[in-house]
Amino acid sequence: NAMACSLVTFEVDMETGQRKPDLTSVIPLVDGGTEGFSGHVRVMYPCVSGCFECTLNLFPPQQAVPLCTIAETPRNAAHCILYAHLIEAPKQFGDEKQDKDDPAYQQWVFQRAEERAAQFNIPGVSLMHTQGVIKNIIPAIASTNAIVAAACANEVFKVLTNCAAYVNNNLMYIGGQGVYAPTFRYERSPECIVCGAGVQVEIASSATLTQLLEQLAADPRLRLKTPSLRCEAGALQDDPTLYMRGVLEAEYRPNLDKPLSQLFADGSVLLVTDPSVPSPCIKVAVKFASLALS
């Protein structure tokens, strides 16, 4: 996803001044996935339609079971298995890390989970269920895989031959209680860190570069760890690089204590590189906060 978006080139509309993707540089992506009796097919045109990063906030959060429930009031077989895996195993094996793929360890967890389930009259503990819980295995069903794979191949054929309109741009397959396959469109996020124009950040012009780095690290949209900064436009110094990690870090360390108004102009666009971001670099547009009049 990030690689395909980075390959897109842009051209400026002479009438409106807006940047538009050059469609000859856009490489379509077709993606499919399944879980149990459900699946999806997506047709993405990088920087034209919504990409993966645009829709990450729509994915449901992972369900975590409170440890107090596992330890005190288990309600199903999975709770009993997690009790053996998370609570009993450390007591039995200490600091020795156990291999989840080891059949002997799986059998040990299964036996302890059976004993735990018997205490609370909970049915459903099996060796296969134990393996699925401790290894976090996502169930796969051959018929669902075949349907989604065929839909992906069909979309690729339509994109290559232009024989029919392709999905615009997401198809969901729901086969648990019959067959239901709705389609809908994922919109592109203008602040997407992969395909968008850039993330907007507001900060005082008197703030230092260190404070800007701290604000960027705390921003949940960016998820930065060790960022390096460079001005794409608006630099007030000969060297547009503001801060760089690695062997040249000492050379740019004096910039950390300088106010931002000495480094770049209001509305400047910064290019941020970081090992944790999914694209080669992300754009951050910095707007200086206006001072409130007393």
Please work out, in degrees rounded to the nearest 5, the angle formed at the alpha carbon of residue 137 by the alpha carbons of 133 and 141.
Answer: 125
Tokens of 173: 């397959």
- For residue 90, give the H/E element and its range: helix 89-93
Selecting among 54, 68, 80, 163, the annotated active-site residue is 68
List Cβ<8 Å contacts ≥24 apart for 207-211: 207/259, 207/260, 208/256, 208/257, 208/258, 208/259, 208/260, 209/242, 209/243, 209/255, 209/256, 209/257, 209/258, 209/260, 209/263, 210/256, 210/257
Asked about 68 being catalytic, the answer comes back as yes
CA distances from 165 to 10, 121, 158, 159, 187 (A): 25, 55, 7, 8, 18
Which residues are marked as active site? 68
